[in-house]
Structure 1
């Protein structure tokens, strides 16, 4: 008879909120509870359209998880990082530079950041099919909850957002949902991630940048808000901080949505920097759901959209030469933190060419 006892993970205590005065981005807040009716979705689609065109980032609230459920997921997220021996971690390490897929551990110092400095972030990545690869012993009792969490992200958060995006492009509601089938091959995954403090020497050499400005690879990224200030987005006024909101999601557009929307919605440029003074010395634990389109999908604009027909379509390449979602994922993932970037003619930008398409990194 199965046990009725719910396993209790060690409790993760996050850093206190910063008290420093920071230049925060003014992001829209999308209330997903209003997406239950056609009228509500129509109104939210308009709000989301404005948010994506303004910043490409927005908050999502009323997503179906209570604060207690979210807190427990952060406790679970810390298990593979803080409660698995180093030798066991090596047995479950992925190698994204080779596979072009994030699975298992990404150890610290796997990526080059800048000026010879390597990263201080550790990931544990779980494919949306949690049975695709085995998991460390300490995490196994919690896999049913991880599976439920992944499914909640996909069906109760991602899909409503994809429907709103489709409506904003005046397309049938399920257009983008059909490109993100939970049961077909794809790179979608949940990431449990922890940033560790760096040496002062590394901060100086990288100008306090922990992760250069970039666009995400997939279509939509769901980041569960946490209190350590470090995430910034590029706005017309310059880099702006992202404010923590309890039990909210921070949602942003990625490359794939830019391809599919013909440049109407841009992948959002964002970076991670050293936290403010009163949060330095603390670790920064994050939970992210990275949504990728189905591997076989060819990344060409949704030319049937009346909106795109009115505003015009911007292509990165000819449709005949466009990569599939799988080809783009492999190119971006395998190159990240490994390739030699070249200085652009644009100030503060470095470039690389992947699948014949120029990818920019912002610093």
Structure 2
């Protein structure tokens, strides 16, 4: 019989939750346990519709991953940072600007934040095809578990959510699933991410912003909730609200690709990361993500067969014949992010750039 022994990883001890009274976003909670019946999916589709229209973010619970499995993945994620030397990280650093890909390491001090201050964020990105790139020695023993984690996210979280979104648009359940294939989605990946505390001088120069307000460029982002409060979303009235930690829950949000596919009906959600509250400022912030994108060749044109979109109307960011493919949009956004020259926008606190003929805004 195959061995059930898994390689040893030191336990990652997360920070205690903040005791500060913050302005928390009132996000919907989607119970995936209800998705097993047509009636349950119909109910959840209405909830997802409301959540995406109101905030663009929602929690997912009862997804099938245990708390123990959750903790194990955070243990593995931490090895990408504590188990790999700075010299070895350089060997596996992604050539982001030239390739338009994050596969491998994004090292600290790559993104410009503000006033000459660069980021203190590392992330290590593993394509759901774990053989696509070589990996550091400390990560290699855990690759089978990372691959299983990617498959779980893709088939048991992403696809059920896409079915609910399709139903909310009155489309056949598999329409969005069919353009998010596991083997075809070129840059869909698992991300391990760590934010490190910054100096008081850097905090002052950036107004405590660690990552400017932005939208994700894929269709759906899955964040595994962790206790260091730093993520904020921008509400429809322009207010920034904090995302609260929920044990073993997922925080799910919409990105550009979903906005383009739905003709603006579901917007890519503006979110940012800022310095944590005072009682968490001495901790690093370890993140675990699954970034999902449609298949590379998918043209990001509106799903005009949707009766919902036919009724409400379609807001195009570009003409259909000029629409980028997912691969073109992902590579353009990736190569430019944090490394391009931004222009001051018409709105206060907004900077702009044009990517693939589309105006992209950054909020600070």
Q: TM above 0.5, one fold?
A: yes
Deviation, structure 1 residue 114: 1.0
Aligned residue in 1 for 2:340: 339
Q: Does 1:270 align with 2:271?
A: yes
Aligned residue in 1 for 2:149: 149
Partner Cα distance (1:313, 1:5) in 2: 53
Q: Are the equivalent residues in 1 in contact too, given 2:264–2:316 (CA < 8 A)?
A: yes
1:220-250 CA-to-partner distances (Å, cap 9, x unmatched) read 0000000000000001350000000000000
Partner Cα distance (1:330, 1:166) in 2: 26
Q: Are the equivalent residues in 1 in contact too, given 2:185–2:293 (CA < 8 A)?
A: no
Aligned residue in 1 for 2:241: 240
1:38-93 CA-to-partner distances (Å, cap 9, x unmatched) read 11101000000000000000000011101010001000000011111122111111
Q: Does 1:212 align with 2:212?
A: yes
Aligned residue in 2 for 1:303: 304
If the length of structure 1 is used for normalisation, what is the TM-score? 0.99
Aligned residue in 1 for 2:287: 286
Partner Cα distance (1:276, 1:352) in 2: 31
Matches within 5 A, 1:191-206: 191-206=191-206
Aligned residue in 1 for 2:68: 68
Matches within 5 A, 1:175-186: 175-186=175-186
Aligned residue in 1 for 2:140: 140
Deviation, structure 1 residue 346: 1.0
1:117-162 CA-to-partner distances (Å, cap 9, x unmatched) read 0000000100010110111111111111111000000000000000
SS of the residue 1:137 aligns to: coil
User: 4+ runs of 1 displaced by more than 6 Å?
Assistant: none
Partner Cα distance (2:58, 2:226) in 1: 15
Partner Cα distance (2:184, 2:26) in 1: 37
Which 5+ residue runs of structure 2 have no aligned equivalent?
none
Partner Cα distance (1:223, 1:184) in 2: 22
SS of the residue 2:138 aligns to: helix
If the length of structure 2 is used for normalisation, what is the TM-score? 0.98
Deviation, structure 1 residue 300: 0.3
User: What is the total number of aligned residue pairs between the two structures?
Assistant: 363
SS of the residue 2:17 aligns to: coil
1:7-34 CA-to-partner distances (Å, cap 9, x unmatched) read 1201111111000000000000000011
